[in-house]
Chains A and B, each alone.
Chain A
Amino acid sequence: MGLFILRRFGVMLLTALCLTFVVFFLTNLYPNLEKLAKTQGNQRMSDEQVANWLENRGYSQPLLVKYGQWLGVAPGFTNTLSDGQVVGSCIRPGVDPENIPTFCGVLQGEWGQSTVFKDDVGAIVSKRLGNTGYLMFWVLVLMIPSALIVGVLAGMKEGSFLDRSLSTFSIITTATPEYVSGVIFIAIFTSSTVGLKWFKGTATSAMDNPTFENFFLPVLTISLYGMGYIARMTRASMTEVMTAQYIRTARLKGVSFPNIVMKHALRNALIAPFTVIMLQFPWLLNGVVIVETLFNYKGFGWALVQAAGNNDIQLLLAISVVSVFVVLFTQLISDIGYVYLNPRIRIS
């Protein structure tokens, strides 16, 4: 088991390296750098000025050198402009030019400077991640229990009326992407002309002061899309368990139906949904981006959209590292948890 986890960590690192390199390559293509130069410097710069700007700030170095600098294995770039201003990848505002470290990359714990927010990337990411973490926590609190309940109820008696209606419900939720359900919810619950006016259409105020009124709709929107899928998996595994021999034996022994479901079937039926829930995380990440844009909640997904829209290279790299680790880490947990929950695999 230890070796298995170690190997997985190795693959994880390799994947993260490859992915950040791809992101690095795409964000450092010349048209993207040109856009960066124009948004940072001046919209009306001539081609020559753009080239000069990039040259002065070290963006024209070879790709691998720049990547090495970002990683912290190559010495950082410094240059003194003609007006005496010192620029470089390791310069931080408020730090004396003499005290600049030679290496400043991910390995040194430096994630760089965001060009959009004019702030330390590490600080931005942790702050935004905190906001999203709070959102995700409530999504999971709402999504997992309701999905499991729907799935178990539907799977108890296959083909019953309850099964049909709950299955239809879960199919509808899987067919509704967040930007559709979000729009429909906003129309029904928040519209100022018609509708119920129960909730608020934006979650901007929820960052400081989350209440049921301004926070429930984003949570509901993300949970619904993931919920249907988990519920269908739970239903499938529940129906399979309910046809097993030991359930029939229990029935013939005269165990009451609620007892069969609660004591005999449930534990075995919940193994498969566990892995599915873990593998849902990458999808939830997508939902987060959409919902944060739709409800204007300034979290991780919002930062992703801002960084990508403005070609903020270092922020984008940090965001992709974080999301890659979320994806791979949940895969790892799902593998380990599956082995742990299922004694049959552990023994063989």
Chain B
Amino acid sequence: MEPLTTWEIIGRVLYQFSSVWVALILLFSLSVAFKRRLGLYGKLFDSPIGMIGFGLVMFWVFVGIFGAMDLIVTHDPLSQVSGMKNKVPGTPVRGAEEGEYAWYLLGGDNLARDVFSRMVSGAWIVVQIAPLATLFAFMVGITLGLPAGYYGGRLDTFLSFLANLILAFPVILLFYLLVTPEIVATGVPNYMAAVLFIFPIVFIGVLLNSRYYTRPNFRTPLLIGVLGVAIWLYLALISTSGYVVNNGDVAIPGLPSVLDPFDIPGGILVVFVSVVFVNSPTVFRIVRGLALDIKTRDYVAAAQTRGEGPWYIMLWEILPNARGPLIVDFCLRIGYTTILLGTLGFFGLGLPPESPDWGSTINEGRKLLSIYLHPALPPALALLSLVLGLNLLADGLREESLKD
């Protein structure tokens, strides 16, 4: 078997992504066709920058999803093939059997694993964690930031002090303190998860209650249903095999394993929690600032005169009017979260060392960087393009939301 030439490698990589191209073309043609009916999302397709950004982001989202569905990866990202250590891109796999992919498209890393497949699987890790962690950070930031801005006074002073306290920590020091096997063993991340994950439930509960409390017949069943599911998910999220914390000294029973549909490995949970923890103070500050600004508007005064409750005003008058900057910041923050995840991987914190996430792969590749370039460059460029896409998307959204 001959090694592939550069053009053949490019062609074959593009061909491996064919499912992604189909999905992208479908998404773009549908969105452009119906863009007038799609609100802010549709307006995105009027701005070239926003479209490029959206395209880059959706490319990696589809790569992540289809990669997890086994449509793109050529080899198992964790399996090592003998004789493929540090081989250059396009090297044929030694002794490839029938049905196996015959080349390492982007070469092998220092443990003879396929760089291309690892990059694709790394996308799935980012796509799973980054948006969800950002969403949680937003829930925490909004639930605390709205009352801080709206009420002001002591509550504001206290919460702002806490937020500044966390922001004064260098992020990497915080990661080194929180994301170590020793700390995972003490159960500190589990306690933090138990506290942080309450905020989305509080948020949803207050949101629905403040809107429908005048119609108890509708509100009560709605709240019971929604909060029931939310609390079940919450308990399932924080408990592993029947316990919230179980480290020999302390054992707090959680949801019994029968009702627990998924277990989150300790490594992922601690990464998730620390990323949410680092991001939420910044969101808090943004929301607080917006609430301070918007609470002086006339429609808030009108709602107050009408006799609406404070939470109704915060969640149904102030929050919808703050959505523009918040959506833009959401995009930027997903990018920042991606960078943080990469940082964690780069320092070898949290995720297991063989994990194919981009940060860990860059960290492993950099050790031999002066001799072999190919293991470190693909994940580095992947991370760069995803974050760039999110930045461009945020720029496009900002431009379009300022137009009206």
In the complex the two chains form, is B173's CB within 8 Å of A323's CB? Answer: yes
**Nearest CB in chain A to that of B332: its residue:** A174
Bound form: Cα–Cα A88–B349 in Å: 32
Is there a chain A Cβ closer than 8 Å to B15's Cβ?
no
Is there a chain B Cβ closer than 8 Å to A32's Cβ?
yes
Q: What 1/0 mask marks residues of chain A from 14 to 53 whose CB sits below 8 Å from any chain B CB?
A: 1100110001001101111011000000000000000000
In the complex the two chains form, is A15's CB within 8 Å of B164's CB? Answer: yes
In the complex the two chains form, is A31's CB within 8 Å of B185's CB? Answer: yes
Q: Which residues of B lie under 8 Å from residue A305 when comparing CB positions?
A: 172, 176, 347
Stretch at the interface among B33-41, B93-101, B358-366: B358-366
Q: Across the A-B interface, how many residue pairs have beta carbons closer than 8 Å?
A: 141
A192's contact among B188, B365, B370, by CB below 8 Å, is which? B370
In the complex the two chains form, is B370's CB within 8 Å of A191's CB? Answer: yes
In the complex the two chains form, is A324's CB within 8 Å of B185's CB? Answer: no
Identify which of residues 148-165 in chain B touch chain A, using a CB-to-CB cut-off of 8 Å.
161, 164-165
In the complex the two chains form, is B342's CB within 8 Å of A187's CB? Answer: no
In the complex the two chains form, is A324's CB within 8 Å of B169's CB? Answer: yes
Asked, given contacts A26-B177, A27-B177, A183-B369, whether A323 binds B383 with beta carbons under 8 Å apart, the answer is no
Is there a chain A Cβ closer than 8 Å to B264's Cβ?
no
Is there a chain B Cβ closer than 8 Å to A219's Cβ?
no
Q: Which residues of A lie under 8 Å from residue B186 when comparing CB positions?
A: 29-31
Grouping DSSP codes into helix (H, G, I), strand (E, B) and loop, the A interface class, with mixed when no group exceeds half, is: helix
Bound form: Cα–Cα A201–B392 in Å: 31
Bound form: Cα–Cα A213–B275 in Å: 37
Is there a chain A Cβ closer than 8 Å to B167's Cβ?
yes
B370's contact among A18, A35, A176, A190, by CB below 8 Å, is which? A190
Q: Which residues of A lie under 8 Å from residue B180 when comparing CB positions?
A: 32
Bound form: Cα–Cα A327–B380 in Å: 29
Stretch at the interface among A57-65, A77-85, A120-128, A287-295: A287-295
Q: Which residues of A lie under 8 Å from residue B362 when comparing CB positions?
A: 179-180, 183
Is there a chain B Cβ closer than 8 Å to A245's Cβ?
no
In the complex the two chains form, is A18's CB within 8 Å of B165's CB? Answer: yes
**Nearest CB in chain A to that of B358: its residue:** A180
Is there a chain A Cβ closer than 8 Å to B391's Cβ?
yes
Q: Which residues of A lie under 8 Å from residue B359 when comparing CB positions?
A: 179
Shortest Cβ distance from A321 into chain B, in angstroms?
A: 11
A319's contact among B165, B173, B335, by CB below 8 Å, is which? B173
Bound form: Cα–Cα A225–B178 in Å: 25
In the complex the two chains form, is B391's CB within 8 Å of A201's CB? Answer: no
Q: Which residues of B lie under 8 Å from residue A91 when comparing CB positions?
A: none
Bound form: Cα–Cα A327–B164 in Å: 10
Asked, given contacts A29-B182, A31-B182, A304-B176, whether A176 binds B373 with beta carbons under 8 Å apart, the answer is no
In the complex the two chains form, is B183's CB within 8 Å of A19's CB? Answer: no
Is there a chain B Cβ closer than 8 Å to A328's Cβ?
yes
B384's contact among A23, A180, A304, by CB below 8 Å, is which? A180
B369's contact among A35, A175, A186, by CB below 8 Å, is which? A186
Shortest Cβ distance from B211 into chain A, in angstroms?
A: 37
Is there a chain B Cβ closer than 8 Å to A255's Cβ?
no
In the complex the two chains form, is B369's CB within 8 Å of A187's CB? Answer: yes
In the complex the two chains form, is B343's CB within 8 Å of A26's CB? Answer: no
Size category, A interface: 35 or more
Q: Which residues of A lie under 8 Å from residue B347 when comparing CB positions?
A: 293, 305
Identify which of residues 352-389 in chain B touch chain A, using a CB-to-CB cut-off of 8 Å.
359, 362-363, 365-366, 369-373, 376-377, 380-381, 383-384, 387-388
B172's contact among A176, A289, A328, by CB below 8 Å, is which? A289
Shortest Cβ distance from B346 into chain A, in angstroms?
A: 5
Asked, given contacts A30-B186, A31-B186, A171-B388, whether A19 binds B169 with beta carbons under 8 Å apart, the answer is yes
**Nearest CB in chain B to that of A177: its residue:** B339
In the complex the two chains form, is B391's CB within 8 Å of A19's CB? Answer: no
Identify which of residues 97-122 in chain B touch chain A, using a CB-to-CB cut-off of 8 Å.
none
In the complex the two chains form, is A286's CB within 8 Å of B168's CB? Answer: no
Bound form: Cα–Cα A14–B342 in Å: 32
Q: Which residues of A lie under 8 Å from residue B380 when comparing CB positions?
A: 179-180, 183-184
Q: Which residues of A lie under 8 Å from residue B178 when comparing CB positions?
A: 26
In the complex the two chains form, is B172's CB within 8 Å of A304's CB? Answer: yes
Q: What 1/0 mask marks residues of chain B from 315 to 340 whose CB sits below 8 Å from any chain A CB?
A: 00000000000000000000100010
Q: Which residues of B lie under 8 Å from residue A23 when comparing CB positions?
A: 173, 177
Q: Which residues of A lie under 8 Å from residue B388 when comparing CB positions?
A: 171-172, 175-176
Bound form: Cα–Cα A179–B369 in Å: 13
Shortest Cβ distance from B156 into chain A, in angstroms?
A: 14
In the complex the two chains form, is A176's CB within 8 Å of B173's CB? Answer: no
Q: Which residues of B lie under 8 Å from residue A191 when comparing CB positions?
A: 369-371, 373
Q: List 18 A-B contacts (CB under 8 A).
A: A27-B177, A29-B182, A32-B183, A175-B387, A177-B343, A177-B383, A177-B387, A179-B362, A179-B366, A184-B384, A187-B373, A192-B370, A193-B370, A193-B373, A195-B373, A286-B171, A305-B347, A323-B169
Interface residues of B (CB under 8 A from A): 161, 164-165, 167-173, 176-178, 180, 182-183, 185-186, 188, 335, 339, 342-343, 346-347, 359, 362-363, 365-366, 369-373, 376-377, 380-381, 383-384, 387-388, 390-392, 395
Contacts A31-B185, A175-B390 known; 20 new A-B pairs at CB < 8 A: A18-B165, A26-B177, A34-B182, A171-B388, A176-B388, A177-B343, A177-B387, A179-B366, A179-B380, A180-B342, A183-B366, A186-B370, A191-B373, A193-B371, A282-B168, A293-B346, A294-B366, A301-B172, A304-B170, A305-B347
